[in-house]
Structure 1
Amino acid sequence: MYLENINAPRDLRGYTAEQRRILAQEMREALIERTSLVGGHIGPNLGIIEATIALHTVFDSPRDKIIFDVSHQCYPHKMLTGRAGAYTRAAEYNDVSGFTNPDESAHDIFNIGHTSTSISLASGLAKARDLAGGTENIIAIIGDGSMSGGEALEGLNVVGEMGTNCIIVFNDNDQSISENHGGMYRKFKELRETNGQAEDNLFRAMGLRYRYVADGNDAEALIRVFSEEKDSTSPVVIHIHTTKGKGLSFAENDPEGWHRHAPFHLETGIAKKAASSEPYAAATVDFVLETARKNPNFIYLSAGIVGGINLSPAQRAELGSQYVDVGIAEEHAVAMASGLARAGARPIFGTYSTFFQRTYDQMAQDVAINRSPAVFLATGTSLYRSTDVTHLGFYDISIFSNIPNLVYLAPTSVAEHIAVLRWAVEQREHPVMIRMPFSGYEESPYPVRTDYRDLNKSIVVTEGRDVALIGVGNFAALASEAAEELAHEGIHAAVINPLYLSGLDEQLLDSLKEKHSLILTLEDGILAGGFGQKVAAFYARTGGVRVRNYGLPKKFFNRYTPAALAREYHLTATQIAADVLRELA
């Protein structure tokens, strides 16, 4: 084998074309075997193997800086930079993350999990190099729909004027996570069909030189072009046409389904374990389809990830013109939703919480100041969801609950989630953001409202005395579980679902002081700027009760075990009940 003998990119330098071909096959087989056992981003990585071999054959990493965007296509890069064991030995499979990470290797320049950033990052590296009188090459690899993000265009615009070494490799596999969307992709198709000769060329319009490689899975052709551009003194885009999922028939035939895949049987491609049902997403899909059928002015917006609710190709086709995928351009989606709402349409824009972070200014400026009654659905909002540092979804409460005019709600059950969605779409007074539950009550323990126009009215789930547990969204059920534990000790705790994260039910909070000397807030998010701190600040002004806030500290976590993290910060029912008993004693 060649792969197991590669400890650094320099080990590739003496390889012949035939040895590189065999190496590519070994890497492909290792990726398929590993993914069949532990899952991962299989399609993007199978498609970029030859390009990665060519990059590390020509350039001198880490002296030459290679930035991956989206860095979920970095598995072959890791295999060639001293981490092959994490892809060839089962015992080491979990030793590396699914994205570039400078803590792992000097060959990884940035921690990157979001899209469209590589060109901007590369421009900064190139400018700093020039200021210092350096000569290293700066290479940005961008693909999987990332060119549709606004920051990519901003980066191209700046690099086009810089007049210095900056090599942009556009990995064009004609796919995003699902299909590509946007006018530029029609023009990229024309470039592919004309061998790069089409008159309309975005990159030349931005001031960059342009080269096209028709077979981006031909390592030898890539080596020739990369060698010619190495140490260039002007910026260039090298447009390479690759096949997503190359070498695995299942992935080639279904690039969306195999963008990222669970462990599977090698012979059939069938997942080894049936996908767990996501009741909140499934209920949301049903609501979206039903609402679209009843209301021709309803529209669902997505930003490259099928709306964060796993809309299937058939469901997207059923929605037709009532479904718009804007590409990986969350900022645009928020502003477009504001325009839709202002013109009388009823939009929902849904995406993962980690990607909503990119939209703060649009939410404040384009939506909230204008009071546009658009609806925003944040998914993946839990410490129990994504655990990679670049994809954490639990910062949303402190970010969005403090924007004036924006009503932010955290329902606690499927029934309440759909009731809140229905009200949000039908009302015309407020921009509304909804924190889609990740977990919660299997069945609502109280009658679910249908009207939420009376803002900031919390729900008393159970009456009690001495201690009150205020459980936010996902953690309302946790509050009820802790109350049950306390009941075994003779403590009858009140449980409150605040529902509204953007304001306080001050009347209820005032009344709690009559029977309760201790208030606990539980939230599936960070404490700094979160809901619990609002409650603590209220009682700091009015006095008469002790407050304890439960949540996560303001820090980044990476590749953690959710249950262990919850225990570390006493976010289990048993620990919370024990803490209460100590406090009351």
Structure 2
Amino acid sequence: MLDRVRVPADLKNFSAEQLKQVAAELRAETVHAVSQTGGHLGASLGVVELTVAIHAVFDTPKDKLIWDVGHQAYPHKILTGRRDRIRTLRQGGGLSGFTRRSESEYDPFGAAHSSTSISAGLGMAVARDLLRKPGEKRGDQNVIAVIGDGAMSAGMAYEAMNNAGAMRSRLIVVLNDNDMSIAPPVGAMSSYLSRLISSRPFLSLREVMAKVARRFPAPLERAARRADEFARGMLTGGTLFEELGFYYVGPIDGHNMDHLLPLLRNLRDAEAGPPVLLHVVTQKGKGYAPAEAASDKYHAVAKFNVVTGAQNKAPPGPPTYTNVFAKALIAEAERDDRIVAVTAAMPSGTGLDAFAKRFPKRTFDVGIAEQHAVTFAAGLATEGIKPFVAIYSTFLQRAYDQVVHDVALQNLPVRFALDRAGLVGADGATHAGAYDIAYLGCIPQMVLMAPSDEVELAHMVATSAAFDDGPIAFRFPRGEGFGHAEVPARGTPIEIGRGRVLREGTTVALLSYGTRLEECLRAAEELAARGLSCTVADARFAKPLDTALVERLAREHEVLITLEEGSVCGFGGLVMQHLAWKGAFDSGLKFRPMCLPDTFIDHETPKAQYDAAGLSARSIVANALAALGDGRGAAIAPARA
């Protein structure tokens, strides 16, 4: 049956039994594809029936279907003309692991961060209403936002619902509840009641009764409204959403096509009324036994064996930066009971699951709520607690105002551990930690560090634990370290604002901030082979800058090149500003800041991404030779693709 589906319109004439078969084949296809590429498996398996039902009932892409986060949209991609490319998922030049407007007309909104679907959907619904031509019916176009997999824990979702309820634009929100966090028991009676209260006669009757009630004296009108809400709240549990102005329907079994299809048709055909929230209960990993048994481990997977479920393990290598951070933090917490850890729904991704096992009462997972996480940590810091806030660099962007207003402005000693700094490979531009140096570097009071390897990371965790004079942040990349030296059981605090020199030279100075130091050392060897003496230094700090080191490098060398795994306006900009005020360029210094290009870099392997960004040893050598101007090389600009 799946072979007969090229686009969603092909589902229109299928019977319910045929759609069930499509769903079964779609689930198998998803499992097989992800086994070859890796990716987000559990959430996608949980929405297979829902995906088939929505595309069978609604008229996509005319009707707008928005997937929150986007990592649950693999079945959607298969049904929307991308099946022949699904095994390129997250590979260089292949399909994105998330929804993407430039990839398909069936992806009306790109999403890889959480909790944006209702806001975007409301915008589309309002635009539809503004652009409606005279005589067009209100229901000519539907907007459906599918939100779930934890995304309802973020405040933005409720801000959007509050606004949508007040505006009363026609919008359908499907709450994919895959962890039973909200749902009461689901069964035949619940499904029947949901179909009843979503039907056109019931909706029409309720609108009529509401108009009648408005003619009652005020006390009776309020009593009638409360009775209506109470009766349906007792049956469905949707009082919270009703208070936000939504008409609540559910909960229903999100894997039962016989329940989904008639209910979705009811919602499709409704022409009036407030926005609707349809509550469906699904099982993460549904239909694939290994994923059902361990939904956390199969949320995001490497390539795996379909039969056994065993994920392909990389050969043993150096410890990952995430594990080094976790162990270093545990070592500090063993000696200081004021140290606590805060994360925003990413305990395993940030390594804090290990910390939680050792210190369960000192670990706080606040859900997908980075804004709250930062201000919560600020409150802890006011009382002498030492909070470490572990958040991916790309996700901390959502809490920028709180970092500035609630932490830095009050000079509170909150420690920020920014995982996934730099380029992240298969997750692509949406998850790249490209901007934290720039967006934190402009904040007064903030101390910024970046380790050059896993040993330095352990030292920076110790430095942060010992620092009480204000906010401090350190960034580290995804993946393994270099394995050049054994990581100490406990790090040693570093002097704030002091870099180090690893190699002395006279002609070219390479000043690295972060893990590009390894490439700098390789470049220095190649320059030496060409007869050029090269100094290599590890800045360690972007703020406060080691100004003495920077000035010495500028004074004693013809060329100074800075390296960083961050965007423009970052570490290189801070160095450049300091040297400009010191008049270093007046003496003829040739300065070259090397950073990520001013563009978004697509998913690929990290090595390919950094090569494309022009941050390899080869690029360093070429830029140094070009700066010297002796004809021995040409500058290599970062790729623009």
Pairing 1:320-399 to 2, within 5 Å after superposition: 320-399=360-439
Label 1:410 to 1:392 Cα distance change in 2 as closer, same or farther (>3 A).
Answer: same
What's 2:281 paired with?
241
**Contact 1:136 1:231 survives alignment (8 Å):** no
Partner SS, residue 131 of structure 1: helix
Name which of 467, 474, 498 aligns with 2:539.
Answer: 498
> Counterpart of 2:515 in 1: which secondary structure?
helix
Distance 2:254 2:269 in 1: 21
2:86–2:95 contact (8 Å) kept in structure 1: no
Q: Which residue of 1 aligns with 2:616?
A: 572
- CA shift, 1:523, in A, is 0.9
SS of 1:239 mapped into structure 2: strand
For 1:558, the equivalent position in structure 2 comes to: 602
Q: 1:87 to 1:289 in 2, by over 3 A?
A: same
Contact 2:370 2:399 in 1 (8 A): yes
For residues 375-524 of structure 1, the aligned pairs below 5 Å read 375-438=415-478, 442-443=483-484, 450-452=492-494, 455-524=496-565
SS at match of 2:61: coil
Distance 1:213 1:280 in 2: 42
Match of 2:262 in 1: 224
Q: Deviations over 1:345-382 (max 9, x none)?
A: 11111121111111111111111001110101001112
What residue in structure 1 maps to residue 142 of structure 2?
137
Secondary structure class of the residue paired with 1:525: coil
In structure 2, the CA distance between the partners of 1:459 and 1:88, relative to structure 1 (3 Å rule), is closer
- Residue type at the aligned position of 1:464: G
After superposition, the Cα gap between the structure-2 partners of 1:563 and 1:521, relative to the gap in structure 1 and judged at 3 Å, is same
Deviations 1:237-262 (A, max 9, x none): 00000111111111111110011111
- Counterpart position of 2:28: 29
Q: Determine if the alignment matches structure 1 residue 69 to structure 2 residue 65.
A: no
SS in structure 2 at match of 1:308? coil
CA–CA separation in structure 1 for the residues paired with 2:400 and 2:600? 19
Q: How does 1:25-424 map to 2 (within 5 A)?
A: 25-87=24-86, 95-133=94-132, 135-174=140-179, 185=181, 188-190=182-184, 195=190, 197=235, 201-232=239-270, 233=272, 234-274=274-314, 278-306=319-347, 308-312=349-353, 316-424=356-464
Distance in 2 of aligned mates of 1:211 and 1:517 = 70
Deviations 1:127-184 (A, max 9, x none): 1111122631111000100000110111111111121210000000117xxxxxxxxx
2:408–2:445: 8 Å Cα contact kept in structure 1? yes
Q: How far apart are 1:294 and its partner, in Å?
A: 3.1
Distance in 1 separating the partners of 2:88 and 2:580: 56
Q: CA deviation at 1:190?
A: 4.2
SS at match of 2:82: coil
Q: Counterparts of 2:116 and 2:89 in 1: how far apart (Å)?
A: 32
When residues 348 and 316 of structure 1 are mapped into structure 2, their CA distance, relative to the original with a 3 A threshold, is: same
CA contact (8 A) 2:413 2:468 kept: yes
| CA deviation after TM superposition for structure 1 residue 400, in Å | 1.2
Q: In structure 2, do the counterparts of structure 1 residues 437 and 566 end up closer, same or farther at CA, with 3 Å as the change threshold?
A: closer
Tell me, yes or no, if the aligned pair for 2:238 and 2:249 is still in contact at 8 Å: no
236-245 or 414-423, larger mean C-alpha shift: 414-423
Q: 1:459 and 1:93 mapped to 2: Cα distance?
A: 37
Contact 1:3 1:23 in 2 (8 A): yes
Q: Do the aligned partners of residues 279 and 127 (structure 1) sit closer, same or farther apart at CA in structure 2, a change above 3 Å counting?
A: same
Cross-structure match for 1:178 = none
| Other structure's SS at 1:471 match | strand
The amino acid across from 1:353 in the alignment is: S
Question: Any unmatched runs of 5+ in structure 2?
Answer: 133-137, 191-232, 631-641
Counterpart-to-counterpart distance in 2, 1:90 and 1:536: 40
Q: Residues 106 and 217 of structure 1: is their aligned pair in 2 closer, same or farther, counting only changes over 3 Å?
A: same
* Offset at residue 474 of structure 1 (A): 1.2
The residue type equivalent to 1:110 in the other structure is: F
Counterpart residue identity of residue 532, structure 2: I
Tell me which stretches of 4 or more aligned residues in structure 1 moved more than 6 Å. Answer: 88-94
Contact 1:36 1:263 in 2 (8 A): yes
CA offset at residue 208 of structure 1?
0.9
Rounded Cα–Cα distance in structure 2 between residues aligned with 1:432 and 1:483? 31
Residues paired across the two proteins, number: 570
Tell me how far apart the structure 2 counterparts of residues 345 and 81 of structure 1 sit (CA, whole Å). Answer: 51
SS of match in other structure, 1:285: helix
What SS does structure 1 have at the residue aligned with 2:566? strand
Which aligned pairs between 1:537-552 and structure 2 lie closer than 5 A?
537-541=577-581, 542=583, 543=585, 544=587, 545-552=589-596
Aligned-partner SS, 2:595: strand
| Amino acid across the alignment from 2:124 | L
User: Which deviates the most, 11-20 or 497-506?
Assistant: 497-506
State the Cα deviation string for residues 458-507 of structure 1 (Å, max 9, x = none). Answer: 22222211111001111122212211222222322111111111232222
> 1:180 aligns to what?
none
State the SS of the aligned residue for 1:377: strand
By how many angstroms is 1:389 displaced? 2.5
**What secondary structure, in the 3-state scheme, does the structure 2 residue paired with 1:124 have?**
helix
Contact kept in structure 1, 2:11 and 2:55, CA below 8 Å:
yes
**TM-score normalised to structure 2 length:** 0.84
- CA, structure 1 residues 575+396, in 2 after alignment: closer, same or farther (shift >3 Å)? same
Q: Is the 8 A contact 2:426 2:605 kept in 1?
A: no
Contact 2:507–2:559 (8 Å) recurs in 1: yes
Instruction: State the alpha-carbon separation in 2 of the partners of residues 309 and 103 from structure 1.
Output: 31
SS at 1:61 equivalent:
coil
With structure 1 as the length reference, what TM-score do the two structures score?
A: 0.91
Q: C-alpha distance in 1, partners of 2:601/2:435?
A: 12
Structure 1 distance, partners of 2:146, 2:405, is 32
Give yes or no for contact 2:393–2:433 (8 Å, CA) kept in 1.
Answer: yes
Q: 1:404 to 1:326 in 2, by over 3 A?
A: same
SS of 2:561 mapped into structure 1: strand
More displaced stretch, 115-124 vs 566-575: 566-575
Pairwise CA distance, 1:19: 0.7
1:103 positional shift:
1.2
Counterpart contact for 1:402–1:502, Cα < 8 Å = no
| Contact 1:383-1:392 at 8 Å conserved across structures | yes
Q: Quote the residue 2:224 is aligned against.
A: none
Cα deviation, residue 106, structure 1: 0.8
Give the direction of change, closer, same or farther, for the CA distance of 1:415–1:274 in structure 2 (3 Å limit).
Answer: closer
